[in-house]
């Protein structure tokens, strides 16, 4: 009597249906360490890895209270997603200011790009041209700079957002020129620290940015008071 072999077809299980991607509005922040190759050469692989890990932890600490979550870790760069655009901007400022608190011998500089727009929400995070655009905006930022796209400025125009006059840039892989804006994040003290010894060069530097006035009779060097209206 022949034993009936089980059908191979009967052992196959149906493949679960993959949910269709959903298009949602999201604000994306990309930041990466500037001159990481130089960092590796100076500290060695192990030392540089420790600094990058410290940078990564710092970014996540800045993102958590703003409701941001990590989408991707790209070597020395981090991609974050936010539901609230203002929170993304505040996170960028928090990252840059936190970096100033790192020990001098381990301090790194970062560039940050922020963009907002529709993207497909998929199982692994978000997908689409706007995700790519956030990283491209970051690539145009100078060390220590926060660049935001025109979409960010338009979205936050009602509450008000302090940015510069903007500049047109050509982003890698994007055929059209894009308008980006630099977001000032330094306080007056961070922007211009009082020199230990006053000189005509220091005075000229202050005059180039705003106004100068002397404060404190006991001080050997006057402090520089910056006023955007050019008034002391």
Q: What is the pLDDT of residue 175?
A: 78
126, 26 contact by CB (below 8 A): yes
Nearest to 226 by CA among 179, 194, 198: 194
Place of tokens 């500049």: 167
CA distances 197 to 121, 176, 201, 202, 221, Å, are 56, 49, 11, 9, 6
The C-alpha atoms of residue 66 and residue 87 are separated, in whole angstroms, by: 5
What are the DSSP calls for 42-68, one per residue? Answer: HHHHHHHHHHHHHHHHHHHHHHGGGT-
- State pLDDT tens for residues 98-149: 999 888 878 889 999 999 999 998 888 888 889 989 989 999 999 999 999 9
Q: Which domains can be identified in the chain, with CATH numbers?
A: 22-182 (3.30.70.1230), 187-232 (no CATH)
Checking if the pLDDT of 226 tops 50, the result is no
Q: Is the pLDDT of residue 225 over 70?
A: no
Does position 79 have pLDDT exceeding 90, yes or no?
A: yes
Contact 77, 31 (CB under 8 A): yes
Cα–Cα distance between 37 and 39 in angstroms, integer?
5
- Could you give the percent of the chain with pLDDT greater than 90? 31
Q: What is the pTM of this model?
A: 0.71
- Higher confidence at residue 27 or residue 190? 27
CA distance 201 to 164: 26
């Amino acid at each position: 009597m022949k034993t009936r072999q089980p059908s191979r077809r009967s052992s196959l299980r149906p493949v679960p249906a993959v949910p269709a991607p959903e298009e949602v509005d999201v604000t994306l922040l990309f930041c990466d360490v500037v001159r990481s190759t130089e960092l590796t050469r100076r500290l060695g692989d192990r030392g540089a890895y420790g600094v990058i890990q410290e940078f990564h932890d710092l970014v996540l600490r800045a993102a958590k209270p703003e409701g941001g979550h990590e989408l991707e870790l790209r070597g020395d760069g981090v991609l974050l997603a936010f539901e609230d655009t203002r929170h993304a901007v505040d996170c960028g400022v928090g990252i840059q200011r936190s970096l100033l608190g790192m020990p001098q011998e381990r301090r790194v500089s970062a560039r940050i790009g922020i963009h907002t727009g529709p993207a497909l929400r998929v199982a692994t995070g978000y997908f689409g041209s706007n995700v790519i655009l956030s990283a491209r905006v970051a690539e145009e930022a100078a060390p220590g700079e926060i660049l935001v796209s025109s979409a960010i400025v338009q979205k936050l125009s009602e509450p008000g957002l302090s940015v510069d006059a903007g500049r047109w840039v050509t982003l890698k892989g994007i055929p059209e020129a894009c308008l980006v804006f630099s977001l000032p994040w330094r306080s007056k003290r961070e922007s211009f620290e009082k020199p230990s010894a006053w000189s005509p060069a220091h005075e000229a530097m202050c005059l180039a940015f705003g106004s100068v006035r002397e404060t404190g009779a006991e001080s050997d060097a006057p402090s520089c008071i910056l006023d955007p209206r050019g008034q002391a």
